[in-house]
Amino acid sequence: MKNLLSKTWFQIIVAGGLIGLVLIVLDNKFHFWDGNKEEGQYHGPVDADKDEMYVTTADYSETAFDFGKIRETDTASHKFIIKNTGKEPLFIFKAVGSCECVRPIFDKEPIAPGAETIITVYFVGKGRKGKQNRSIMINTNTDPAEMVLRITGEVE
């Protein structure tokens, strides 16, 4: 251990670790990297003023679908319809399946008030024998911003 302490590279690593630890402890008290926490500001992936953000409402034709029984070599699909029921354009920022076997496809264009769009969800049965319960997370400019769609079924 004495030989290790005399090595320059080890001293640099220990000094860096100590400096990092001190900065973490001090940040918990003084909040160096929090930025401005002004009221009415949204600090997320994109900073914005909440009063100037488009927030709308949406109705889903359904939030769950059972595709029944399919063979392992098949791919099941279903179309979920989303209607913009608000007064502002509806944006679908992201749609992600709970695993690589679920693939949602959607139009990335804004949906006008009163208009509808379709999210087509594909489920690939290959290597997925048995009962299936998968989800699709949809992120939009609604409040709440996340919606979970579910697909269930059985792969034979």
User: What SS3 string covers 4-26?
Assistant: HHCCHHHHHHHHHHHHHHHHHHH
Domain CATH for 85: 2.60.40.10
CA dist., res. 63 & res. 100, Å (int): 20
pLDDT for 69 equals 95
Print the domain residue range for 146. Answer: 51-155
Nearest CA among 31, 23, 135, 21 for reference residue 80:
135
Positive or negative: CA dihedral 65, 59, 106, 134: negative
Same domain, 67 and 122: yes
Same domain, 29 and 71: no
Q: What pTM did the predictor assign?
A: 0.66
pLDDT for 147 equals 94
pLDDT at 26 over 90: no
101 lies in a domain? yes
Same domain, 92 and 150: yes
pLDDT for 59 equals 95
40 lies in a domain? no
Same domain, 68 and 127: yes
pLDDT at 48 over 60: no
Mean predicted lDDT score pLDDT of the chain: 86
pLDDT for 35 equals 60
pLDDT at 8 over 80: yes
pLDDT for 99 equals 92
Average pLDDT over residues 61-84: 95
